[in-house]
Amino acid sequence: MNDETKLQQIEEIFRIKEGTTPISAVAELELDPDRWLPVAKAISNGEEVDIADTKPPEKTDKEPVDETKSDNTDPISEHYARVGDVYLTLGDLDGDQCLGNTDFLGWYKTRAADGEQFDGQGRPWALGKEFAGMREDLDRVVYAAVNYASIDWYLDAYKPFKYTKNGREWVDGETPTPGYGEITAYAPFADIDLTDEVKKKRPDGDIPRGEIETALSEYIDAFADLAGGRDHVFALDSVGGAYVMVAPSATKPIAEHYNAADRRLLFEDLTDRMNDWLDETRAAVNDVANVSGIFEPDLLNNKNRLYKAPMSVHSSLDGVVTPVDTESVSYEYTPLESVTGGDIEAAVEWSEGFTDDHTHAVCSLVASLWSEYSEGSDSWKDTLNKRLDEMQADKEQNTVHEERLSNVEVPEDLERTDDIDVIARAVEDINVKELAADLAAEWDTAPGRDPPRFEPSWRSSSSGTSCYADRDKYVDLKEGKCGGGALKLVARDRGIITDSRHKLQGDDYWKAIAELRKEGYDIPRFTGSRGTHPDNLGLHEEPKNADEKRRQVLRALKASK
């Protein structure tokens, strides 16, 4: 690749990728920073570049810089120079690796592709082995995934991509993340969120801490019952809420005992059952603690679910993710500037325990989540074999369903996926400010106002400025200063929810997805494992006429037979 091509690729990255920095552009293209960082900086500043005049600085005989003693005055950069051992430990489970991520956007380690038909190739970061590389493009947040995969999988996972006006596009349209059949361990997990209003008050301590600690204790107790003991349960203060999870090695025996095809079915089933179990647990906890609508779990878990890793900085608050003592729950905010060496050691110890051997918890976990199959079973394997036999029979029946559906007019306007992550990422990519401008009854054009205000379409506003929106969210000041992302905004606009404080879940979630598509956003249809999910069949879409209504009914009937 000649210098002119490299220059064009840097310019293209800045053009199509919002938020690109000179360092991230050079790192993504794996260019020599001495040679190309000045070029990237010039391009980012809108300057014309003559690469013939740009030369790398002359090499010196200076001693290499010790990153742990960096002169960098950025407190976040200095913080991450101290905590590498946390991620080295967290990311490794008997040699298997946890997927890592920076700032939610930084999923992939990239390198040059063979030939000129692709712009590069990439695969997910392996947190335990590659945090040093991740730091090059790290702004604030380090994420870990709830899954682990073999190091061989990572070595073989590179997939080619091209840059288009829509960003990076993979050769076959599928991102190179591990599937259910490829993961070797999977932590049953709950992300319990604080509302934005409460979250913003955490640094000042003006939150219902007693109720939150009661609720968090109840969630930990429930997870202990699920796993057969508190020693298998781990919790983190995520700054914007809390995480509670069972150690990932509790599911490792499932991956070891079953082949990839059966493992895929069982791990996907585990995800669905955990989401149902978590919904029931949420209701039970809300009966004990007054936290409904304030501190509740997200019910959209999946195999590649990310969580902020211990010692990560929060995306908007200068607080740090810290372990929670599951024996004596305390929910105390930890500011970035107060992190001590003892805090870092505690995070390393937490990670050691989390990645330790908890394989014997599989018995309780299986008995709890597959309780209807465990009666009369001699072992957890016997229980899962019963469920597997049923799912395989269902799979055969699904083939018949698909043959029936092949004769039915199913909407073909969008690509399809059975990975809920793909749907979530498509929604995350939507610029909420632009959507709000399209939906607003009146948009505030006052110069210099940031974020801009607008009059909502769902109620009158005497000021016309009672809502505001930025790239990631909208907020309704009259509805409890609550709001959310693009999905919640369109749901509020369409009346799918009647208050910005309401949660969006179940059928309402998919109705809102359908409404975003009406606004012109390309969100793939979700097929589910059988291909008969209502979103794939278009059942959440408002029929345009009686004929379309009849077609919807026909699709639903064919799919249910």
Region class of 208: left (phi > 0), else alpha (psi between -120 and 50), else beta: beta
Q: Where among 383, 405, 427 does a domain terminate?
A: 405
Q: Which of 383, 343, 408 is nearest to 558 (CA)?
A: 408
On whether both 387 and 458 belong to a single domain, the answer is: no
Q: Domain limits at 250?
A: 186-303+319-334+346-369
Would you say residue 226 lies in a domain? yes
220 and 326 both lie in a single domain:
yes
Domain boundary among 384, 405, 426: 405
Closest CA to 300 of 420, 195, 185, 180: 420
Residues 365 and 375 in one domain: no
d(CA 55, CA 279): 59
Q: What is the CB neighbour count within 10 angstroms for residue 402?
A: 14
Whether 88 maps to a domain, the answer reads no
Distances from the Cα of 193 to the Cα of 27, 154, 253, 296, 382, angstroms: 33, 31, 31, 5, 36
Same domain assignment for residues 552 and 491 = yes
Q: What angle do CA 196, 197, 200 make, to 5 degrees?
A: 80
Statement to judge: residues 380 and 421 lie in one domain: no
Residue carrying structure tokens 């430990």: 89
Same domain as 388, residue 250: no
In a domain, 93, yes or no: no
Indicate if 510 and 378 belong to the same structural domain. no
**Cβ partners under 8 Å of residue 249, min gap 6:** 93, 94, 185, 355, 356, 357, 358, 359
Domain total in the chain? 3
Do 433 and 527 fall within a single domain? yes
Digitized pLDDT (tens) for each residue of the chain, 561 residues in all: 567 777 777 777 776 666 677 766 776 676 766 677 778 777 877 776 765 545 444 433 434 444 444 444 689 999 999 999 999 999 999 999 999 999 988 899 999 888 788 999 999 999 999 999 999 889 999 999 999 999 999 999 999 998 877 678 888 878 899 999 999 999 999 999 999 899 999 999 999 999 999 999 999 999 999 999 999 999 999 999 999 999 999 999 999 999 999 999 999 999 989 989 999 999 999 999 999 989 999 877 888 899 999 999 999 999 999 999 999 999 999 999 999 999 999 999 999 999 999 999 999 999 999 999 998 899 999 999 999 999 888 776 656 555 554 555 556 666 888 888 888 888 988 999 899 988 887 877 555 566 778 888 888 766 666 788 888 889 888 887 788 899 999 999 999 999 888 888 888 898 999 899 889 898 888 877 666 677 777 777 776 666 666 565 555 555 544
Residues 358, 245, single domain; the answer is yes
Asked whether residue 80 is domain-assigned, the answer is no
Per residue, the 3-state secondary structure of 68-85, as one string, reads HHCCCCCHHHHHHCCCHH
Identify the helix (H) or strand (E) that includes residue 65.
Answer: none
27: tokens are: 């790192």
Is 491 inside a domain boundary? yes
Residues 380 and 485 in one domain: no
Residues 230 and 276 in one domain: yes
351 belongs to a structural domain: yes
Domain annotation covers residue 12: no
Write the DSSP symbol of residue 326. S
How many Cα atoms sit within 13 Å of 228 on the Cβ side?
14
| 396 and 459 belong to one structural domain | no
**Residue 65 within a domain:** no
Q: How far is CA 222 from CA 34, 217, 354, 368, in A?
A: 54, 9, 18, 11
As a whole number of angstroms, the distance between CA 509 and CA 42 comes to 44
